[in-house]
Structure 1
Amino acid sequence: MGKLTATKIRALTEPGRYSDGDGLFLELNGKDSGRWLLRVQAEGRRRDIGLGSLKAVSLADAREAALLTRKKIAQGVDPVAEKKQERQVIPTFRRAAEMVHEEHEKAWKNGKHQNQWIATLKTYAFPKMGDRLVSEIEGPLIRDVLAPIWLAKPETARRVRQRIGTVLDWSYARGFRATEAPMRSLSKGLPRQPKKDKHFAALPYASVPDFLEKLRARESVGRVALEALILTAARSGEIRGATWSELNLEAALWTIPAERMKMGRVHVVPLAPEAVAVFERAKKFKAGASDLVFPGQTVKKPLSDMTLLKILRDMDLAVTVHGFRSAFRDWVAEQTDYSGEIAEAALAHTVSNKVEAAYRRTDFLDRYTFVPGGSEIMQFPAAPAARGPAPSR
C-alpha cells in the first residue's frame, strides 16, 4: 500500500519530495504543482525517471506507470531511450542526405565535390529510395539502386555506394536506425567490377617542354594558369584559387594557407625563375575588385576546373590536368638525385607511415635554394632543349 493518498496530496503546500514507496516520489513545487518521479537502479547507477506532471497524472496513474517502467527495466529495456525514440521523427533518405550534405559541405574544400556529392544521390539513389524512411532501408534496396550502374559506370557506382553508406551511418549515429549501413554484404549481391587503372593520364615528362612551347603560342588567363600549374606541380584547385596576397615574387615564394590545401597544412612553394615569370605575366589579368591571380568570367570567382581541361582537349591531348603532377614525379625519380620524400613534400602529399609522419617536421624548403646562373633545381625547362620537366616544387 502506498504512503500517499489523493487527500494527502491535495493538502500538501510545502515544496519538496514526498515518497509513495517503491521509488515513486512526488516532487512538489507548490500547492497542486509538481511532477512524478520514479527512482530506479539500472546498469549500476541510480536514475530518476519522470512520469508526468501532477496536474496531468493522477496518483493511481503514476503508480501504474511506475510498475510498468520497473517491468521494462527488469526486461533490459531502457524506458528513457524508448520514449526518446518514440518522440523522434524518422527522416526519409532524401531528407537525411540533405541534412548530411548541409552538415559536411563546409568541411569540403572542393566546391565541385560539394555539388557532386548530393547530385549523384539525386540522380541514382533518390528515385528508388528517396521517399523511404532511413530506418527501413536494407541491403536489397541498396543493391537495386547500384545494380544498373555497377558495371556500366563503376566509378560512379562506387561513389554512390559510399555516399549511401555515409547517410545511413549518420542516421544510425543520430538514432534514426537500429543498425549501421549494411554495406559489407553488398559485395555478395553484385558482380565483380573490372580492375581499373587508378593513375591519371599524364604527358610523358620528356614531352612537356614541347607542350609548354605550344601552350605559350597563345595567351589567355586559362593558359597562363595551366603553365603556372605545370611549373609549380600544384593541384588545380590550388592554382585556380591562388591570390596575390599568397605570393612573394621578390622572395620567389608562394605560401598556400592550410584551409586551401587538401591535407590541411600550410604549403610553401619556392618558385623557379620561370615560375616567377609566369606569375608576372598573370598581372595583366589582375582585376581591382579581386585578389585572385587567375579570375574567372566573374572576377571575384576563380577559373572553373573545366577551363584548364578544355585547353588540353582543344590541343588534342588525351591527358588530365592532374597528370602533370605525375609527370613531375616521374621526372624526379628518373632524372634527378632528389629523394622520394623530397618529391612527396614538393607535391604536398601526406606521409603514409604514421610513425614517420608524427616525427617529420621539415618541408625541405632549404633544399630548394635557387642560385642565379646555377643548375636547374626541380623546375620545368624554359625551352624544349632542356633536360626534362620539374616544377618548382
Structure 2
Amino acid sequence: MTGLTALKVSKARPGVHCDGKGLLLKVSPHGAKSWVLRVQHQGRRRDFGLGSIDWVSLADARASAATLRADIKRGIEPIQRITQREQAATRVIVPTFEQAARRCYDALKEGWDDKRRKNWLTSLENHIFPRIGNKPVDSIDSAVVRDALAPIWLEIPDTSRRILQRITAVLDFAHIQKWREAETSLRTVTKGLPRQTDRSRHFDAMPFDDVPAFVRRLIVEPTTITRDALRFLIYTAARSNEVRGAIWPEIDLEKAIWSIPAERMKARVAHQVPLPPQAVELLRVHWRARRSDEALVFSIKGTKPLSDMTLSQALRKMITDKATVHGFRSSFTDWASERTNFPKEVADKALAHQVPDKVEAAYRRTVFFDKRRKLMTAWAKFLHGPAPERDRSLSVDEASANMDTSSSSPTG
C-alpha cells in the first residue's frame, strides 16, 4: 500500500481514505477534512482525532500517529490522558474574520468573473479588515457588522451594501466549516444604520469653474502617484476604477489613445479615450519610471492598484467642500454643456455612457472619436488656463483651432 500523498489529500472526495497503520483521512459531505488514528486497545477499537488538515499536514499527522501508537503499545499513555489528547486534537480552531474571509474567497473565486474577483477581497481589505479583521469569526454578530459599516454606510452606499453581502457570505462559509455554531442572519444590521434615502443619488461635484485652480494645485503640490492619478482622471473624465486599473499595454503614447478593454468598463463595452497633450505629457513621465512594460500606470510597485479610498482621501486633504472623485465627470459634463457647442451625444460618448433607448442605440453606431478628441483637448486647455469670456460659446471648429495652437505638448 502506497499510502496518501499531499496531492491525494488535496483532491480527496467525501469518504474515508487510508494512509496505513491506522491513519485515516476523513472527508465530510461538505468537504471538511480531518485526520483520525484507528487502533486496537485492550480488545477495543478506538478512534483518536488528530485534527483538521487546515492545521495538521500529512507529515505532522503521521508523526502524531506514530507517537500515539508507541505510547499505547508500551502502556505509558493512560486512557484518560489519551481521551484528553483526543479532545484537544479534535477541537476546532476558530480563525479570525480576515482568515475566514480569505479562505472563503479562495473557495468561491473560481466561479466569478474577473471584475468580481478583483473587487471582492479588496473591498474587505480597505474597509472591514482594519476594523474587525482580528476578531474571531465566531464573535461576529449584527452589532459588530453594523459598527464596521457605519463609517461608510452613507459615504459610499453602493459599496457598503455589497460589503454587507460579502460579510454574510463569509459568515455562512464559517458556519459550513463549523467555525460558527449557528447560521447567521444580518437582516437587522440595516435597522441600526441611517436610511440610504436615494440609492441613485448624484455624486457631489466641484463646480467646473473651480476645477482649473484645483488642477494647478495638483501640479504645484509635491508629486505623488495618487495626485498624478487624480489629475489624469480629471483630464480624461474617466471613472476611478478605470484609471486605477490602467496598464501600459492599453496606452498608445504616439497616437495619444487609451484603449480600455470591455471587461474593465462598467457597461462591458470597450472604450477608446483620445488623450489631450497634457495627459500624454503626464504619462510620459510615468513611462520613464515604469517598473515594466506590462505594469499598472499608477502604482507604487506596478502590481497593486491604488484603492478608491486613496484617491478620495487625497481629494479631501486638498479641499474643504463635499466634492467627490466621481464628481469630476459631472464637472466635465457641466463645462461641455455651458461652455461649448459640442453636441450632448459627443460628451456622453466621452463619458462612455450608453444610449438607454435600444432602438436609438441600434442606429447610433458612431463613437464620435474625432469630435471627442477636439472636446478633450478643449477641456484640458480650459483646465490649464483662465477661461476667457469668449470661450462660453466655444464651437467644434474653434476647439480644433485650439488643438493647433496649444502650448502644451508631449515631451520625451
Q: Report the TM-score when normalising by structure 2.
A: 0.52
Q: By how many angstroms is 1:378 displaced?
A: 5.0
Matched, 1:273 2:258: no
1:385 aligns with 387
Q: Deviations over 1:142-192 (max 9, x none)?
A: 6555555676763486455332455689999xxxxxxx99677876x6576
- Distance verdict in 2 for CA 1:344–1:168, change over 3 Å: farther
Separation in 1, partners of 2:359, 2:132: 41
**Which one has a larger percent helix, Structure 1 or Structure 2?**
2
Match of 1:239, SS? helix
Q: By how many angstroms is 1:328 displaced?
A: 1.1
- Distance verdict in 2 for CA 1:149–1:301, change over 3 Å: closer
1:264 aligns with 268
Q: By how many angstroms is 1:235 displaced?
A: 2.3
Q: By how many angstroms is 1:205 displaced?
A: 0.4
Unaligned runs of 5+ in 1: 1-85, 133-140, 173-179
Separation in 1, partners of 2:145, 2:296: 42
Greater Rg by CA = 1
2:255 aligns with 251
Separation in 2, partners of 1:150, 1:248: 41
- Please say if residues 294 and 303 of structure 1, whose CA atoms lie closer than 8 Å, have aligned partners that are also in contact: no
2:61 aligns with none
Q: By how many angstroms is 1:255 displaced?
A: 1.0
> Could you tell me which amino acid in structure 1 is paired with residue 203 of structure 2?
F
Identity, % of aligned positions:
32
2:326 aligns with 322
Matched, 1:87 2:26: no
- Please say if residues 325 and 347 of structure 1, whose CA atoms lie closer than 8 Å, have aligned partners that are also in contact: yes
Unaligned runs of 5+ in 2: 1-27, 33-91, 176-182, 395-399, 401-412
Q: Deviations over 1:360-392 (max 9, x none)?
A: 673623452656xx9965545231235489xx9
Structure 2 counterpart of 1:298, from 301, 310, 314: 301
2:66 aligns with none
- Distance verdict in 2 for CA 1:286–1:326, change over 3 Å: same
Give the stretch that moved more between structures: 304-313 or 238-247. Answer: 304-313
Q: Deviations over 1:180-215 (max 9, x none)?
A: 99677876x657626479443432101112222333
Q: By how many angstroms is 1:131 displaced?
A: 3.5
Counterparts of 1:1-393 in structure 2, within 5 Å, are 87-88=29-30, 98=102, 100-102=104-106, 103-104=108-109, 107-108=114-115, 111=118, 114-117=121-124, 130-131=137-138, 143-146=142-145, 148=147, 154-155=153-154, 158-166=161-169, 190=192, 193=195, 195=197, 198-218=201-221, 220=223, 222=225, 223-283=227-287, 285-287=288-290, 289-292=292-295, 294-302=297-305, 305=308, 308-309=311-312, 311-318=314-321, 319-351=323-355, 353=356, 355=358, 359=362, 362=365, 364-366=367-369, 368=371, 370=373, 377-381=378-382, 382-386=384-388, 387=391
Separation in 2, partners of 1:169, 1:354: 40
Separation in 2, partners of 1:206, 1:376: 17
Separation in 2, partners of 1:364, 1:206: 28
Q: Deviations over 1:290-312 (max 9, x none)?
A: 44474533245555656644553
- Distance verdict in 2 for CA 1:129–1:379, change over 3 Å: same
Q: By how many angstroms is 1:268 displaced?
A: 0.2
- Please say if residues 256 and 268 of structure 1, whose CA atoms lie closer than 8 Å, have aligned partners that are also in contact: yes
Q: Deviations over 1:39-58 (max 9, x none)?
A: xxxxxxxxxxxxxxxxxxxx
Q: By how many angstroms is 1:231 displaced?
A: 1.0
1:65 aligns with none
Q: Report the TM-score when normalising by structure 1.
A: 0.54
Match of 1:131, SS? helix
- Please say if residues 100 and 174 of structure 2, whose CA atoms lie closer than 8 Å, have aligned partners that are also in contact: yes
Separation in 2, partners of 1:314, 1:186: 31
> Could you tell me which amino acid in structure 2 is paired with residue 364 of structure 1?
V
Q: Deviations over 1:24-49 (max 9, x none)?
A: xxxxxxxxxxxxxxxxxxxxxxxxxx
- Please say if residues 124 and 145 of structure 1, whose CA atoms lie closer than 8 Å, have aligned partners that are also in contact: no
> Could you tell me which amino acid in structure 2 is paired with residue 154 of structure 1?
W
> Could you tell me which amino acid in structure 2 is paired with residue 264 of structure 1?
R
- Please say if residues 126 and 307 of structure 2, whose CA atoms lie closer than 8 Å, have aligned partners that are also in contact: no
Separation in 1, partners of 2:366, 2:174: 40
1:41 aligns with none
Separation in 2, partners of 1:124, 1:217: 35
Q: By how many angstroms is 1:269 displaced?
A: 0.5
Match of 1:254, SS? strand
Match of 2:211, SS? helix
Separation in 2, partners of 1:124, 1:348: 36
- Please say if residues 221 and 294 of structure 1, whose CA atoms lie closer than 8 Å, have aligned partners that are also in contact: no
Separation in 1, partners of 2:172, 2:346: 38
Q: Deviations over 1:233-284 (max 9, x none)?
A: 122333344344322333332212223334333110112333334334444x
